[in-house]
Structure 1
Amino acid sequence: MTASIINHQDREAIHAVTKGVVVCDRSHWGRIRIGDDDRLRFLHNQSTNDFQSLKPGEGCDTVMVTSTARTIDLATGYVLDDAVLLLVSPHRREFLMQWLDRYIFFADKVTLTDVTDETATLSIIGSASDAIIEKLGAGALIGKPQGSNIFINQTIFAVGSGLTNPGYTLIFPVTEKPKLWQQILNYGAVELSDRAWETLRILQGRPVPDAELTDDYNPLEVGLWQTVSFDKGCYIGQETIARLNTYKGVKQYLWGIRLNSPAEPGTVITIQEEKIGKLTSYTETPDGHFGLGYIRSKAGGVGLKVQVGISEGEVVSLPFVSHEYP
């Protein structure tokens, strides 16, 4: 996946993420509401994280995987009083609605509702996001763990920006969007475009479907250890993930690659003409060229010098993922 060339406005917004505060419209992401009595048990059995230990007002990131533990999507679940709201990647909601529906059996008390079109999502991101969340009346969330959420005036306020930067995510009726968007801008936030979000997510290593999350990779190769519970019992793909962990069987890892020129996703990564991996995403950044790619674990990690097509690169660590259990 390639992010477009960034302009002056994007540079300013990317800078504001670390020095101030931005607001990003994530309404094109999917939102699935999972209701009825068995909702937590159902999600617990369909994804990598431990939902049954969560209470209303809590939440977590989780990975949807196939029966052989191949990655489908990285989602965030917010546990509400009467439902779980799942925030899923753009272009993934229809697939996930059908995929989840396949696993609802006759006796299960579970309902799935796609609420994407009637809701909107904004993320407030940056070191100054606390001040805005306080002005919006959700100051009780400040200092709470990732995924913590409260419901005020038809709006879910949740801790977490979707990136590694501090921030909050708001989900609310789509009719309220113009008013809330303007309010947040009036409080001093700078608009972060989709293009700038894409640059940040590549720099941080947040994986996305069809690039880093595909049928070729499992969550441990991606480095999403924080989303995997190793002691919650059976779920789809659990046996494969447990075996990989027990026998240290992870054969490739996702890394950042600092590049000296542009490179095309899908390009083979080599060392002295030996294939060691593949580039999955590329972006131009305010500081040069940057990509994400999977590299065979035996080849090495941070500091490794690689060739990506005609571009030379150096392997660097990524803040969003890790290659050991936290």
Structure 2
Amino acid sequence: MFDFSAGWISLKDRTLIQVTGSDALHFLQGQLTFDLLTLGPDNFGWAAHCSPKGKVLFTTLVVKTGETFLLDAPMGMSELILSRLRPFILRSKVRIEEAHPHFSALGLMGQDLEEVAKSAGLNPLPAVGRQDEQSGVRRLRLSPDRLLIIAPPQRLAELSVPLDLSSQFWELGNVREGIAEVIPLTTDRYIPQWLNWDRIGGISFRKGCYTGQEIVARTHYLGKVKRRALHIALDSAVSVGTSILHGGEVTGEVFSCIKNEQGKYEGLAIIAGEESSNLVTEEATPQALRILPLPYALSD
């Protein structure tokens, strides 16, 4: 998936929120699309928090460590997440705060990931889609070529690993794995299914109520998903939100755009209908989009 040797990435600028208290599980269960009752010590989940109209306000990776729930999200999302969740606390025994004083994160991604992890004393690694804790270091295997590590800052410093890669490569990993993470520019614009959140296990259609559930469930049970996130390739950078045309008509927009290891650009685009060819950007000099494969199917 990646044409470079595995390297370490500092993820200290990503948003990391911790939710604690005796009511934390019940509280988050009513706020996120993922079923937290399925969360245990050896797995993690992708989740979204929606508006009452079913639009995604933020996305997050959720992991449980002891009685604490950690929410990992892109840089710049901390204030939005706190402002959205805290008003719902009311009398619940829940505390929601930034986790960075207590936890920080590192990423490892690329070819020969297992060997590089071994050199840092972190082997054997958990299986893909699983997580574990080793000597105070929580290790989440996001894919065969990507590992997320969360631990107290002092424990991460003790690993003494070289930070070889910039954080943009972590974003590139999300693009290639089809993880459409919402950032401030893209909040409150898409329902979870348009971001393929149902295809990565990020929506439970069996759990109890959560904010926005009615719209999300209606889309699932009563209608076809009219838009999907597709993996795109471009020759040059394009702004998030740029319209995408098919036959001169707007059929979608750019969701993300990241420079890859070849110096070209890749991203995700939200595209309507079945269109996947003859797509161009709406710019002064339009670019033709190439559709690249995703690691999962968009339909059953």
Query: So what's the TM-score if we normalise by structure 1?
Result: 0.79
Find the aligned partners of 1:318 and 1:42 in 2 and give their Cα distance.
Answer: 37
Q: For residue 131 of structure 2, what is the aligned residue in structure 1?
A: 148
Structure 1: gaps of 5 or more residues: 1-13
Q: Distance in 1 between matches of 2:235 and 2:220?
A: 35
Is residue 221 from structure 1 mapped to residue 197 from structure 2 by the alignment? Answer: no
Q: Tell me which of 3, 25, 39 is aligned to 1:15.
A: 3
Aligned counterpart, 2:104: 120
Offset, 1:179:
3.5
Does the CA-based 8 Å contact 1:59-1:149 persist in structure 2?
A: no
Matching of residues 242-253 of structure 1 within 5 Å: 242-253=217-228
Compare 47-56 and 274-283 and name the one that shifted more.
274-283
Residues 195-226 of structure 1 deviation map (CA, whole Å, 9 limit, x = unaligned): 33344444444323347842120110111112
User: Match for 1:280 among 239, 250, 255?
Assistant: 255
Give the structure 1 partner of residue 246 of structure 2.
Answer: 271
Match of 1:290 among 258, 266, 277: 266
Q: Does 1:105 align with 2:90?
A: yes
CA shift, 1:101, in A, is: 1.1
8 Å CA contact 1:205–1:320 kept in 2: the answer is yes
Moved more, 43-52 or 120-129: 120-129
Specify the code of the residue in structure 2 equivalent to 1:115: A
- The answer to whether the 8 A contact 1:30-1:89 is kept is yes
| Residue number among 207, 219, 235 corresponding to 2:180 in the alignment | 207
Would the aligned equivalents of 2:255 and 2:269 in 1 still touch at CA under 8 Å?
Answer: yes
**Residue from 228, 236, 240 that aligns with 2:215:** 240
Q: 1:267 to 1:315 in 2, by over 3 A?
A: same
Tell whether the 8 Å contact from 2:76 to 2:184 is kept in structure 1 after alignment. Answer: no
CA distance in 2, matches of 1:83, 1:49: 16
- Aligned-CA RMSD value: 2.7
Please name the residue that 1:41 is paired with.
Answer: 26
Matches within 5 A, 1:59-98: 59-98=44-83
2:165 corresponds to? 192
Amino acid at match of 1:207: A
| TM-aligned CA distance change 1:283 to 1:169, over 3 Å | closer
Worse-superposed segment, 227-236 or 37-46: 37-46
Residue 158 of structure 1, aligned match among 116, 140, 145: 140
Q: CA deviation at 1:277?
A: 1.7
Instruction: Give secondary structure in 2 for the equivalent of 1:96.
Output: helix
Check conservation: 2:17, 2:98, Cα contact below 8 A.
yes
CA distance in 1 between counterparts of 2:25 and 2:226 reads 33
Aligned length: 294
What is the letter of the counterpart of residue 193 of structure 1?
Answer: S
Within 1, Cα distance between the matches of 2:252 and 2:184? 14
* Cα distance in 2, alignment partners of residues 169 and 210 from structure 1: 19
Q: Is the 8 A contact 1:138 1:150 kept in 2?
A: no
Deviation of the 1:151 alpha carbon: 5.1
TM superposition score normalised by structure 2: 0.85
Match of 1:172 in 2: 151
For residues 288 and 273 of structure 1, the distance between their equivalents in structure 2, rounded to whole angstroms, comes to 25
Counting only pairs closer than 5 Å after superposition, residues 282-321 of structure 1 correspond to structure 2 as: 282-285=257-260, 286=262, 288-297=264-273, 300-302=274-276, 304-308=277-281, 309=283, 310-319=285-294
The secondary structure found in structure 1 opposite 2:36 is coil
Name the structure 2 match of 1:4: none
Q: Which amino acid aligns with 1:46?
A: Q
Decide whether the 8 Å contact of 2:77 with 2:184 is kept in 1: no
Distance in 2 (alpha carbons) for counterparts of 1:312 and 1:77: 37
